[in-house]
Amino acid sequence: MEPFRIPVVNPATGEDLCTVVSASPTDVKATIQYAHIVYQAGVWSHASAHHRSTVLSRLAQALQARVPEFAELETLQTGRAIREMRAQLGRLPEWLEYYAALLRTHQAYVPPTQGPLLNYVQRVPLGVVALITPFNHPLLIAIKKIAPALAAGNSVIVKPSELAPISVLEFAEMAKEAGVPDGVLSVLPGYGVTTGKDIVSDTLVRKVDITARTATGRALGSIVGANLATFTAELGGKAPIVVFNDADLESAVNGAAFACFVASGQTCVSGTRLLIQDGIREAFIDLFIKKVESITRRMGNPMNPESTMGSIISPRHLSRIETIVSNRASGTLLTGGHRLTSTSPLDNFDFSRGSFYAPTVILDPALDSELWQEEVFGPVVVVKSFGTEEEGVKLANACKYGLGAGVWTRDLSRAHRVARAVEAGLVWVNTHHRNDPSSPWGGMKESGIGRENGIEALEAYSQSKSTIVNIASPEDTRRTDDWFSEGTAAKRYG
């Protein structure tokens, strides 16, 4: 029987890039079983921290040398602007380097256990872990999960998005060349409803880490919970950007434009709700619209380094954005609001070949509207104004999501107050979408559970193991540990 093949399409041109073979249920089962056998054999799980660190460092160096190549792959399969992918991928080796360094510095500890006992606590791997990764940052999000999972000693199964699997497949091959043993890092392409479900349903999988829509997180989380495996989920977002009267206007406009339109708005921390204090409302909106229209004028071929913004990932996603914007029951369209079908003034690129949508700004939609409450996952931002600081915070929190948020102010005290009051796992002040391997990343409310990055991620891919050793002399042990000796006095320490 011929294997099922998934076409991978360049969303900017509609052209086929390649096909990838979808993993069958038999492939999934066999790959997980082999990963478990390799885990039990200990070639990676029992390897020294020093050895795993050396391999991760070697892999970081190999990735660094291939950043230009991977940036082109990412642009071809996602339609994102090459300028974005070069900047993003240039930092990816840092995640591998960070966890390589943690392996050499993260130490076991000895708790102060009572009695003549030595209790040392180590971190040990979980076993086979599964990672479900999305299309919007294919290699970034995969490596954010792969690096701590490998560092902890697990066998890792990755299911990349069927829309953008190429770079993850290439990375896995490179990992083998760097010294990651066979069966320790495996990639299983396929659709989420079939391959993804098969992977997370396997009882040999001891942890699942996903980045996906909230509905997907709920569906997979119920399966993972039934298997008593651990679960990390980075889910939807609807990030507020709260701009106060005292903010530097130009910086805030530039920062908000980046927050709203990087990756064509296809990020979970995209600044989709722009909240402007009354005193600068008109001035801010005027400058912001000019900035947005400048972005639109300079859109072109995503492979052109001068192009400002790329395409939407697929015609289906584009159609959803068009429907949400055109069917809105409230809100005034200030700019955008349509698919791009013309020729780019930047480089004569034909937008009609791909899935392009103009950067869009909508003023004052209702708080219960789909535009305000739901993730559009496109270059669409809604704008509202507020009076007091308390009103700004209330608007920022008037949403079921709580992943990212931005605050723009020159008042240091206000910055800390508002950052604390906003219900989000990530709050940026006078900037947006800053990311670092050392900084925990994850959401509150319906934006997910658990954290990526930092020591938290390494520990989430491992578990503690206590070893308790009696260090008393044999004579003392005979005297104190004979629980059933003649007499009534209990002699044990605990």
Q: Given this model, what pLDDT does residue 214 score?
A: 94
CA–CA dist 145, 159 (Å, integer): 12
Task: Provide the residue ranges of all domains of the chain, joining segments of one domain with +.
Answer: 5-234+453-467, 239-429
CATH 3.40.605.10 fits 5-234+453-467, yes or no: yes
Q: Given this model, what pLDDT does residue 480 score?
A: 79
- According to DSSP, residue 352 is labeled G
Determine the 3-state secondary structure of 425 from DSSP: coil
328-353 in b/e form (b: 16+ CB < 10 A) is beebeebbbbebbeeebeeeebebee
Instruction: Establish whether domains 5-234+453-467 and 239-429 are of one fold.
Output: no
CA–CA dist 476, 79 (Å, integer): 72
pTM: 0.96
CB-based contact 449:232 (threshold 8 Å): yes
CB-based contact 245:387 (threshold 8 Å): no
DSSP 284-331: HHHHHHHHHHHHHHT---TTSTT------S-HHHHHHHHHHHHT-SS-
- What are φ and ψ of residue 384, in 5° steps? -140, 155
Q: Given this model, what pLDDT does residue 309 score?
A: 98
CA–CA dist 180, 286 (Å, integer): 53
Q: What is the mean pLDDT of residues 418-439?
A: 97
CA–CA dist 403, 418 (Å, integer): 15
User: Which of 79-88, 223-232, 472-481 shows the lowest per-residue confidence on average (mean pLDDT)?
Assistant: 472-481
Q: What average pLDDT is seen over the chain?
A: 96
pLDDT in tens, 437-477: 999 999 999 999 999 999 999 999 999 999 999 999 998 88
CA–CA dist 350, 13 (Å, integer): 8
CA–CA dist 109, 128 (Å, integer): 25
For the segment(s) 239-429, the CATH number from 3.40.309.10, 3.90.1300.10, 3.60.15.10, 3.30.360.10 is: 3.40.309.10
Q: Given this model, what pLDDT does residue 482 score?
A: 80
Catalytically active residues, by annotation: 234
Q: Which of 382, 381, 389 is nearest to 367 (CA)?
A: 382
pLDDT in tens, 265-315: 999 999 999 999 999 999 999 999 999 999 999 999 999 999 999 999 999
pLDDT(220) > 70: yes
